[in-house]
Structure 1
Amino acid sequence: MSTLLERQIRKFLPQDLANNESLKPFLEAVKKSYHTQEEQFNMLQRAMQISSEELFVANQKLREESKAQQEILDSLKLVIKSLQLKTPQKNENLDVIELANYLKEQSEELNKVREEQETLLKSLENKNEILSNYAHMVSHDLKSPLRNINTLLNFILEEKPELASQCKEYISLILNNLEKMDALINGILNYSTLDKEQFGKEVIDLNLLLTQLTEVIYIPEHIELQVPKNFPTIYGDTVRIQQIFQNILQNAINSIEKEKGLIKIDYKDRENFWEFSIKDNGYGIPQHQFEKIFRIFEKIDNDQQATGIGLSIVKKIIDFYEGKIWLESELDKGTTFYFTLPK
């Protein structure tokens, strides 16, 4: 193209100048200038092409972002509608600013509710702490005179062996009631001081735990206890898990009045939790008392020896672990307690 320009320039020059060697520097300068202009023009075209591509990409991104924002707005409208919240306008055509203001108002209300909840929780924590301290104090104040009475009665029995048999029976009855009172106080203390925050988190070998439990709990000779040897390892607080098994097992032992008693402890491996069962062939529980027995101080009508606290403690512990407890029972045939614990 530069050669064409040189010919055109020579064409319009006089013949004597067209072939003049002294004109070559001028033509060379024009040629270089044209080259520079052509390169700049090509660069400008390239820059415009790049800018056009970038602009296209940017526009594409803007369209995608706009679409995404519209989807978010639509989703928020659906959320508001599904929650049946009162919208700031009667129509549903909320623009971004209106929706943002509305969400700000809802956020402020939620923050207010959260602050109220935190205040309530702190109040409950303080009350729970007061209740726990009160339970310890009452426990100490009640158990001290019980111990004194127990000591005094045993002293009388040892020092006065010549007491009438009827008098000894009365003293024995008093001692039995003192034991019941002591168990009741311990139960109330255990129930009122259960605190999930204090639960330990350790590996528990249930085979070992159940073996140790059967060594410390009294099982009459006429009762057979069947426990498989392949129980799983779980995670939790050893003392609390032992309380669950011990209280249900003790409840099963107390319910058996037959000459040959049988208690079976078993488990099933579920997807996200372990399901345990403790089955006995005791006198059974009436269906109308199924829910009642898990409430504190409630007990089966025909079980006068019970404190009415053991199963309520069991339920409270299982609730802390977000498990479930239920039972199946037939009168004169027996009862099966089921409960779940997370893996």
Structure 2
Amino acid sequence: MKKKGKTPSLLPSLPAKKRSKAGFIKPLKAIVADLALYFVINVIWVHVMVLLINDPIVTMVGALWVGIIAYRGGVVAGLLGCLVVTASNYVAIAFTSGAELEVPYYFNNKMPGFVLGFIQCLVAALVVGYISQLIHQLRKEILLRKKIQKDLEEKVAELDAFGHTVAHDLKNPLMIINISIDGLIKEIGSDTTVKAKKLLDFISDGTKQMINIIESILMLAGVKKINPREFAAFPMCECVNDALNRMKYNIENNGVVIKRAEQWPEVFGYAPWITEVWANYISNAIKYGKNKDSNIKPVIEIGYDVQMNRTEMDQRYTRFWVRDNGDGIEKEKIPTLFKEFSRLHTTENGYGLGLSIVKSIVDKFGGKAGVESEPGKGSLFYFSLPASESKGK
């Protein structure tokens, strides 16, 4: 049974069979084999060196063996190695009992050489063993996190594919309904009552709104998957022209006056998505940049500027903007505009996912999206992009 009150770890624990025993990095059998191997090696080494140079100081090379054991097995293995190497030193020296050996002293003849050698082994066991365990734990964490990241990416890909399938399955019948309603309205013509026509128009508008929401969701998902390798320098005038051509019917139908810059710089990004940003800003300016009560037609200005008084890094960015002559936005509503499903006016088809998509696109390019507005003075929606070294018209 699981104990209540404990928060489960985000990282899955390792299987019990693979956990180290007694703080060992390697299995116990491998540690014992290492200790036996280095015992024999050190006995032979010390015995031969003592016979050759007749000096027990070579026993201090045991710190090297202990360091190797500690690195391979951890602190506990290093401490055992310290004892094993020290014992092997005594065994090796015992085999040379026929030789006259003098025990060296260090630190003003206060510390025997074998004591200094043991201390060196002990330090090597603790320091190297601790570092080795940290490295071993870090490797396990990296492998575990890579596995978790891979599993998460697979789940996200499955969820994304499922979302696209559902969105398309919803969109297709809605489009059929909308086309059928439009055909029904044309077929009935003037024979229908005013109330019936209003209901049909209401249904048609509702299906169109649902289709737009689904398309916005698909677009938002697509923005998050843009590959930075597809970014390139391009003339901004192409995106502006494409957006204006797309909005041509709305511009003419609403009597919109467009004022735009003649020259445009080149920027770095992904042109199709930047066109979506312009189309969204222009669409909102048409929708909110008019006053029905005063019979004021929308006047939309489109341009760009560079903030020369900013830091050197900010000067690499060009700010593009769309200004309208609408009623403006209250200060307390501005922070929520670029959030998903935000709505400015309840009587209009709010901004919905539009501005959240704008923010996602601009953030992807390392820029910034925002708005400057005061009630009664219109609004200026802007976005910044990295500027290209070359300029275009």
| TM-score category of the 2 structures, normalised to the smaller one | 0.5 to 0.7
- Is 2:350 the partner of 1:306? yes
Say if 1:131 and 1:192, in contact at 8 Å, map to a contact too: no
Say if 2:317 and 2:386, in contact at 8 Å, map to a contact too: yes
The alpha-carbon deviation at position 306 of structure 1 amounts to 2.8
Change (3 A) 1:106 1:329: farther
- Is 2:289 the partner of 1:256? yes
Change (3 A) 1:156 1:260: closer
Say if 2:284 and 2:351, in contact at 8 Å, map to a contact too: no
Gaps of 5+ in 1: 1-94
CA RMSD of aligned residues (A): 2.7
Give the match for residue 176 of structure 1. Answer: 205
Give the match for residue 278 of structure 1. Answer: 322
How far apart, in 1, do the equivalents of 2:337 and 2:297 lie? 25
How far apart, in 2, do the equivalents of 1:166 and 1:302 lie? 23
Q: Which amino acid aligns with 1:143?
A: K
Among 216, 237, 241, which residue is 1:211 paired with? 241
How far apart, in 2, do the equivalents of 1:322 and 1:108 lie? 37
**SS, match of residue 251 in structure 2:** coil
**SS, match of residue 266 in structure 1:** strand
- Aligned pair count reads 249
For normalisation by structure 1, the TM-score amounts to 0.64
Give the match for residue 239 of structure 1. Answer: 272
**SS, match of residue 295 in structure 1:** coil
Residue identity (%): 27
Change (3 A) 1:182 1:105: same
Change (3 A) 1:311 1:103: farther
Among 160, 176, 185, which residue is 2:214 paired with? 185
Say if 1:199 and 1:236, in contact at 8 Å, map to a contact too: no
Give the match for residue 134 of structure 1. Answer: 162
Deviations 1:203-233 (A, max 9, x none): 3211122123212213255432222122111
Say if 2:344 and 2:351, in contact at 8 Å, map to a contact too: no
Q: Which amino acid aligns with 1:313?
A: I
Q: Which amino acid aligns with 1:215?
A: N
Change (3 A) 1:284 1:117: farther
Change (3 A) 1:103 1:250: farther
How far apart, in 2, do the equivalents of 1:305 and 1:241 lie? 23
Say if 2:239 and 2:272, in contact at 8 Å, map to a contact too: no
- Is 2:265 the partner of 1:228? no
Q: Which runs of 4+ in 1 moved over 4 A?
A: 95-113
Higher alpha-carbon Rg: 1
The alpha-carbon deviation at position 97 of structure 1 amounts to 10
Change (3 A) 1:96 1:189: same
The alpha-carbon deviation at position 200 of structure 1 amounts to 2.3
Say if 1:132 and 1:193, in contact at 8 Å, map to a contact too: no
How far apart, in 1, do the equivalents of 2:369 and 2:128 lie? 46
How far apart, in 2, do the equivalents of 1:247 and 1:97 lie? 66
- Is 2:368 the partner of 1:324? yes
Q: Which amino acid aligns with 1:341?
A: L
Say if 1:255 and 1:283, in contact at 8 Å, map to a contact too: yes
**SS, match of residue 298 in structure 1:** coil
**SS, match of residue 170 in structure 1:** helix
Change (3 A) 1:280 1:142: same
How far apart, in 1, do the equivalents of 2:283 and 2:127 lie? 61
Change (3 A) 1:159 1:267: closer
